[in-house]
Amino acid sequence: MKKFFHTIVYLCFLSGLLAPVAPVFAEQEKAPHIKSKSAILIDQKTGNVLYNKKDNKKMYPASITKIVTAILAIDSGKMDETVTVSKNATLAEGTRVYLNEGEQIPLRKLVEGMMVNSGNDAAVAIAEYLAGDVPSFADKMNEFAKKAGATHTHFVTPNGLFNPDHYTTAEDMAKITQYAMKNSEFRRIVKIKNLPWHVKGWDTTLVNHHRLLWDYPGTTGVKNGYVDKSKHTLVTSVSRDGMDFIAVVLKASTSKVAYSDTTSLFDYGFSHFQRQKLSKGTLIEDPAGRKHALKEDLEVTLPVGEHVLKNVSASGELTLKNSAGDSLAAVQLFQPSPKKEASQVAAHSSGEATGSKLALQLTTRTALFFYSGFLMLTALMVMIRMRNKRRRALQRMRRYEKNYTFIK
């Protein structure tokens, strides 16, 4: 009997500890193993980050810098103008398209040669034509970087030749490329595979250095790079099956690693993510229970099978989040009046306080319930033991009385 009641008490106490806990098990998809020092994968359309590895670590970009030089040339509106090549441009080190001093070439052709064959001399010619000299063009590059949201980037050269003050991050290059890929002329140039090239010093057909244009279905550009300090860098865009991704890998030990990491990122993106859309006119409920029509389409990128979470603040901002709580998109849903906003903020704060109070009360009541049960069972066990002791004492007295009577 004693062992039985001890078991009951133990089980009740244990259930009291475990009852309030509701474990949730979620299967997490395995991300690819990336060997490059830094990498990122984003949805080109939504900008949502799908994978990152040290994406804010400062790195040397090498020739992927030319993405910035190209989009600045295109945005200048001077693509049909003629550039006179300077001697300084012809002296550029590294990969060239063999320009000659005094040669006159359309700006568009220089941009194409720079992007297809990574011509460092073409990059300098472009910079000098658009800004007068390389330092002034670098200032324009840095202004553009800030405009694109690249906050950890600083450019010194138009071609990416090494300079300790010339750096970027994987995240910043993804933002820059996302901006550039919105331009149709930029998209046309970066997907060129073969380019007839006829200048005074070179008559040939240039072949794009970006091998994934041939090797990975749906690849649409954009640029690879290499200098000793940066190792191999690669920025790639792909469009397939209704999805558009941008991958950036920095400081890969070999070009093979850079390409392998990039294809792994794209495979991961296509197999694990999808877009979800909230259409214009969708009714969204605010904290006060009022419904507001969405003024524009909103799209976010989520893991397959996951649903977007909506949160409306008292100030009227709608935020779309994933299950991890990361913000994917935000838009002003409505404009509350100053008085209403203040009252809604107070109500929201009050609601949060009430919710916290209720949660505390529930936890306290649960603990008290099981603690009371434990005390009751303990008291019952003590009472039973006392009753058994009295019964055994009474039995002993009766035996003594019987023996005493028999002797007498």
181 contact partners, CB below 8 Å, separation of at least 6: 44, 187, 220, 221, 222, 237, 246
Q: Which of 86, 118, 237, 264 is catalytic?
A: 118
Residue 215, Cβ density class (10 Å: 0-12 exposed, 13-18 middle, ≥19 buried): exposed
Estimate to the nearest angstrom the gap between the alpha carbon of 39 and the chain centroid: 11
Contacts of residue 371, defined as CB under 8 A and 6 or more positions apart, other chains included, come to: 16
CB 55 within 8 A of CB 171: yes
239 among known catalytic residues: no
Of 35, 53, 66, 140, the active-site residue reads: 66
37 is catalytic: no
Return the amino acid letter for 127. A
Q: Which of 36, 53, 54, 63 is catalytic?
A: 63
For residues 150 and 170, the answer to whether their CB atoms sit within 8 Å is no
**CA-CA distance, 259 to 115, in Å (whole number)?**
18
The Cα 264–Cα 259 span in angstroms is 9
Dihedrals phi, psi of 14, to nearest 5 degrees: -65, -40
Residue 389 annotated among the catalytic residues of the structure = no
In whole angstroms, what is the distance from residue 278 CA to residue 39 CA? 30
As annotated, the active-site residues are 63, 66, 118
